[in-house]
Amino acid sequence: MAAYVLDVLAESDQTVAVAESLTGGLVAAELTSVPGASRSFRGSVTAYATEVKQRVLGVDAELLEAHGAVNAQVAEEMAAGVRRVLDASWGVSTTGVAGPEPQDGQPVGTVFIAVAGPAGRKSARLRLNGSRAEIRRESVRTVLELLSSELRENLRRQDTERNGGI
């Protein structure tokens, strides 16, 4: 999936940046494991601490205070923030609870992923089972799938616009 995403980005002269919490750099590692990733991968911010989400990525402090860091809107703001901070075409993010204990009133396995791109933001809530490592791996896989889906949708929109809305 990482190779596909990077190919699509490179072909369309676009870039991606990553903001990670529970995955702790695994999304960036997956992307950078692909030869030639530097053509499209701008960088990442591992915003493990809530304070980093707010100070570095610009996640709304009141939102974090009211709802905690494990929230769809937080994931969307993280993706938009890393996109802005690292000047990328696309931003993706992960935030959630990998365990062993619940966090912010959310059970282990609750994960929010998001993508921010030219047409806006999209997030998804995941309910994952398994070990801490399994939850983190599945979060990486799923956020790359979401990005892939959004890239395909963006290409469809561009094709439709080029063809006069047909």
Query: pLDDT for 2-25, tens place per residue?
Result: 999 999 999 999 999 999 999 999
Q: Residue 99's pLDDT is what?
A: 94
- Number of Cβ atoms within 10 Å of the Cβ of 33: 10
Quick check: 161 pLDDT over 90?
Answer: no
Whole-angstrom distance, CA of residue 85 vs CA of residue 66: 24
What average pLDDT does the chain have? 95
For 31-53, what is the mean pLDDT? 97
CATH number at residue 125: 3.90.950.20
Residues 6+ apart with CB under 8 A from 10: 36, 39, 40
Phi, psi of 134 (to 5 degrees): -65, -40
133-153 pLDDT tens trace: 999 999 999 999 999 999 999
Count: domains in the chain:
1
Domain range for 139? 2-162
For 77-96, what is the mean pLDDT? 98
Quick check: 164 pLDDT over 90?
Answer: no
Q: Residue 54's pLDDT is what?
A: 98
Q: What percent of the chain has pLDDT over 70?
A: 98
Quick check: 166 pLDDT over 60?
Answer: no
Q: Residue 2's pLDDT is what?
A: 97
